[in-house]
Amino acid sequence: MRGSSRFIEACWGKPHNGIPVWFMRQAGRYQPAYRQLRERYSFLEMALSEKVIVDVTCRPVEELGVDAAILFSDIMIPMGPMGIDFDIQEHKGPVIAHPIRRVQDLKHLKPLRPEDDLPEIFRSIEQICRRIDPIPLIGFAGAPFTLASYLIEGGPSKNYIETKKMMWEQPELWHEVMITLADAVVSHLHAQIRHGVQAVQIFDSWIGALSVEDFEYAVLPTMKEIFSRLNRLHVPTIYFGTGSAALLPLMKQTGARVLSLDWRVSLAKVRQDLGNEMALQGNMDPVLLLSSWDVLARHVRRILDSMAGDPRYIFNLGHGVLPNTNPELLKRLVAMIHDYVPGTNDIGI
């Protein structure tokens, strides 16, 4: 067991020094070194290269001073060994060759055997943990609903027509899809934990497309089962979704130890509404990173002041770092958050 950190302590609500900070997509296209690699390799080649995974994952810790690393990968990576033929296309995202629409389509899927199917991922995790120690590594996976939306639609979608039609018109098939994906998610995250990650985050990026009622009957039972199984391993579990303000009371019921929020909600209001028993992570609008320092610092200060003294708070973005973000601005922001002192007007140098 590696040493603790302010990030891990905040997840558990234990006393720690300073506000922890890391950024979703902190390993990505805003980095010059990443863009150079991307000119030479496809995204999937990078995501399955042990050397690239290690280097890209570690750089934000070493260059920005963040309090946690997150594994460089993609939520679709476990789908390949399960029998899903897909590609990740620039500016589009995952594109599925043969979408799942019928019972027969689902029968072609194979159970995920993480260490056998994706050995480079787990060798990378072990190397990363040694390289960044004592900074923790966060593992992750896609949530079943978000994964299902890609598999059913055939790619990104605005309205999720086929996904919702299956959910409403073929509830038995929908349930089978969710259970199949839930087993893969848990298996993949269990393996990541075995090899050294100290926290796990589940990305439900498109969950905001659902009504409260649809989430409650078609998604919540599966997410409860996932977090119940993961929480037995005694590592922090984080649940993230966008456009999910109306769903937050139900997301709390999943059993996740940390809720990661987008910028469409007030952190202080969520804390008031949901209580103090779970940690909150977020929730700055990533577009602010493209503003002037003075504008950015004022908004960050407002967020920090609203959560001052909360032992269960982790600073993050409400979504991922945008590609045209200046890395030096991120580094300056990390220093500002680490130097934050409640009750002063200083917004950083």
What mean pLDDT comes out for the span 312-328?
A: 96
Q: Is residue 21 part of a domain?
A: no
Catalytic residue among 6, 34, 59, 74: 74
Q: What is the CATH number of the domain that holds 135?
A: 3.20.20.210
The answer on pLDDT for 13 being more than 80 is yes
The answer on pLDDT for 40 being more than 50 is yes
150 is catalytic: yes
Counting residues of the chain whose pLDDT is more than 70, the rounded percentage is: 97
The answer on pLDDT for 1 being more than 60 is no
Return the C-alpha torsion angle 246, 312, 66, 317, nearest 10. Answer: 20
Please give the pLDDT value at position 344.
72
273 is catalytic: no
Q: Are the CB atoms for 12 and 236 separated by under 8 Å? A: yes
The answer on pLDDT for 117 being more than 70 is yes
Give 282's strand partners.
315
Name the domain count of the chain: 1
Counting residues of the chain whose pLDDT is more than 90, the rounded percentage is: 94
Q: Is residue 332 part of a domain?
A: no
CA–CA separation, 275 and 284 (whole Å): 21
Q: Is residue 157 part of a domain?
A: yes
- pLDDT band, residue 216 (cuts 50/70/90): very high
Q: Is residue 190 part of a domain?
A: yes
The answer on pLDDT for 55 being more than 50 is yes
What are the tens digits of pLDDT across the range 260-308?
Answer: 999 999 999 999 999 999 999 999 999 999 999 999 999 999 999 999 9
25 is catalytic: yes
The answer on pLDDT for 310 being more than 60 is yes
pLDDT-wise least confident of 86-100, 232-246, 281-295: 86-100
Cα 138 off chain centre by: 9
Q: Residue 144: which domain range?
A: 41-283
Catalytic residue among 2, 38, 123, 131: 38
Q: Is residue 290 part of a domain?
A: no
Catalytic residue among 29, 123, 271, 332: 29
Q: Assign residue 348 a region: left if phi > 0, alpha if psi is -120 to 50, beta otherwise?
A: left
- Contacts for 208 with CB less than 8 Å, ≥ 6 apart: 241, 242, 243, 244, 247
Please give the pLDDT value at position 5.
93
The answer on pLDDT for 162 being more than 70 is yes
Mean per-residue pLDDT over the chain, rounded: 95
Please give the pLDDT value at position 349.
45
What mean pLDDT comes out for the span 82-100?
A: 92
Q: Is residue 81 part of a domain?
A: yes
* SS3 annotation, 1-18: CCCCCHHHHHHHCCCCCC
Q: Is residue 183 part of a domain?
A: yes
DSSP state letters, 143-185: -HHHHHHHHHHSS--SS-HHHHHHHHH-HHHHHHHHHHHHHHH
Catalytic residue among 34, 55, 117, 150: 150
Residue with tokens 């056998």: 116
Please give the pLDDT value at position 348.
52
The answer on pLDDT for 222 being more than 70 is yes
